[in-house]
Copies of this chain bind each other. A is one copy, B any other.
Amino acid sequence: MNKSLTFIENNHKKEKPKTKEIPFGRTFTDHMFLMDYEEGKGWHEPRIAPYEPLTLDPAAMIFHYGQTVFEGLKAYRTDDDRILLFRPEKNFERLNQSSDRLSIPPIDEDEVMGYLKELLKVEKDWVPSFEGTSLYIRPFIIATEPNLAVSPSKRYTFMIILSPVGPYFSGGIHPVTINVEEKFTRAVKGGTGMAKTAGNYSSGYQAQAKASQTGNNDVLWLDGIEKRYIEEVGSMNIFFKIDGEVVTPALSGSILRGITRTSILEVLNEWDIPVTERRITIEEVYQAYEDGKLEEAFGTGTAAVISPVGTFNWNGKQIVINNHDIGPLSQKLYDTITGIQRGRKEDTYNWTVEV
């Protein structure tokens, strides 16, 4: 471990969740990781400290110009009580890609991986053991310089906070209903759509509210230019199985580079199931549905892993998939990925990292 890491223990430990019914993202562990950046000095003062409020100047640039990036991953407790991470190096790689787009200085990925492991060792009892639960890990960087000039900050703080979370779906996965958004745009080429940065998320709240008011669980985003090409669903990537072939939108510059997405592409290749990354329009999906060739559709992401789609509502039309049942490929992918994540299936891909 990096010798410079300091540890300030929290002497007021909180109570840990006693059931698997843990609401997402509201319970935090006793400690967090922090590290500061200053121009000329670089990243410095890595420390594990009590989870407590931050003190920031009201002019801190994060509040005004949104210079910030984040990541999301999970730690899982195996049946034999080991703690596993799923491809965490991919998260820190993507964090640096996001930072590049937002003009934030890069972190040393290996060093930060070491700090994360130390934090998880301190908080290991917070990784829940109930079925379907995990410890959600949120690394993020915020611009902290107090300055109202519209230019990159000279100071940043990198943090990792941890939150025990319940199962995404209670009682196993079940298909969701998705509204195809025609008015609002999530991202466009040349913008920040490929980066995990704060502004990409709140900009979707209006579309999300409209979708849920009409009985949908989530939103399918189309491209910002022609409003035809499928991009992603909510904050997940999307896959379709059409006539035996799996299709997912190619990374166009406005689509998030999902780590679950990449993993599924690799698994499908391994299984010799034809899979293509390409542009795909909503009309093509509708046509496949009309022709009886749309076999499955599912979103992929860290939160749900695989989220099968039962219905797309598009412009007054309904696309009902597989009679609103979970498709066999969706189920098999879900079982495979979650099995590897939780140490119940052999990790032939070498994806898991033990803490």
Chain A contact residues, CB within 8 Å of chain B: 24-26, 28, 32, 51, 53-59, 62-68, 70, 101-103, 136, 138, 140, 142-143, 146-152, 159, 161, 163, 183-192, 197-206, 208-209, 224-225, 227, 234-235
Contact = CB atoms under 8 A, between A and B. Distances in A.
24 contacts: A24-B148, A25-B147, A25-B148, A26-B148, A28-B59, A54-B55, A54-B57, A58-B159, A58-B161, A64-B138, A65-B201, A66-B66, A102-B202, A150-B234, A151-B208, A183-B190, A184-B191, A185-B188, A185-B190, A188-B224, A190-B224, A192-B203, A198-B198, A199-B203
A190 B184 contact: yes
A25 B66 contact: no
B53 A57 contact: yes
B25 A103 contact: no
A102 B58 CA distance: 20
A145 to B, nearest CB: 9
For A32, A54, A65, A225, the residue with the greatest tally of chain B CB atoms inside 10 Å of its CB is A65
B103 A206 contact: yes
Contacts of A63: 62, 68, 140, 142, 198
A26 B151 CA distance: 13
A187 B183 CA distance: 14
Contacts of A161: 58-59
A93 to B, nearest CB: 19
Q: How many chain copies? A: 2
Nearest to A209: B103
User: Which 3 residue pairs of A and B lie closest in terms of their CB atoms, listed nearest first?
Assistant: A199-B199, A25-B148, A66-B198
B64 A66 contact: no
Given A103-B202, A199-B202, 15 more contacts: A24-B148, A51-B58, A55-B55, A58-B161, A62-B62, A64-B198, A65-B201, A66-B203, A101-B203, A152-B209, A184-B190, A186-B191, A191-B191, A197-B202, A198-B198
Nearest to A182: B190
Given A198-B64, A201-B66, A224-B188, A56 B56 contact: yes
B66 A199 contact: yes
Contacts of A101: 203, 206
A147 B102 contact: no
For A24, A184, A198, the residue with the greatest tally of chain B CB atoms inside 10 Å of its CB is A198
